[in-house]
Amino acid sequence: MVEKMTIEKLAEMTQQQFQEVDKRFQEADKRMDGMVKKDMFTEGMDMILGEIRATRQDVRGFRVDIAGLEERIEVLEDKTGGRQRVNV
């Protein structure tokens, strides 16, 4: 009889331990899912920010190009004495 109670008690304790471990794994799984989603979000945001930075650089480049063209137009206007259609 003592042996039977011990086996039942051991089985109950094992089941409780299994449930605790299972619960910990589920919690860890949820945290990992959150981290993966956060990492994916972070990567996406980094990619978007990279595109924004590249676009800003392009815009700055265009501004420099436009400024350069404006200067060339002004020089041509000065040389020709006014605004005329010029192919640049």
- What average pLDDT does the chain have? 78
Q: Do 86 and 73 meet the contact criterion of CB atoms below 8 Å apart?
A: yes
Backbone angles phi, psi at 5, to 5 degrees: -65, -40
Looking at residue 31, its pLDDT comes to 79
Q: Helix, strand, or coil here: 85?
A: coil
**DSSP characters for 30-73?**
HHHHHHHHHHHHHHHHHHHHHHHHHHHHHHHHHHHHHHHHHHHH
pTM: 0.41
Residue 1 or residue 14, greater confidence: 14
Backbone angles phi, psi at 32, to 5 degrees: -65, -40
Lowest mean pLDDT across 2-6, 58-62, 73-77 = 2-6
Those residues with Cβ within 8 angstroms of residue 72's Cβ, 6 or more apart along the chain or in another chain: 88
- Residue type at 8 in one-letter notation: E
At residue 5 the predicted structure's pLDDT band, cuts being 50, 70 and 90, is: low
Residue 14 or residue 85, greater confidence: 14
Looking at residue 87, its pLDDT comes to 62
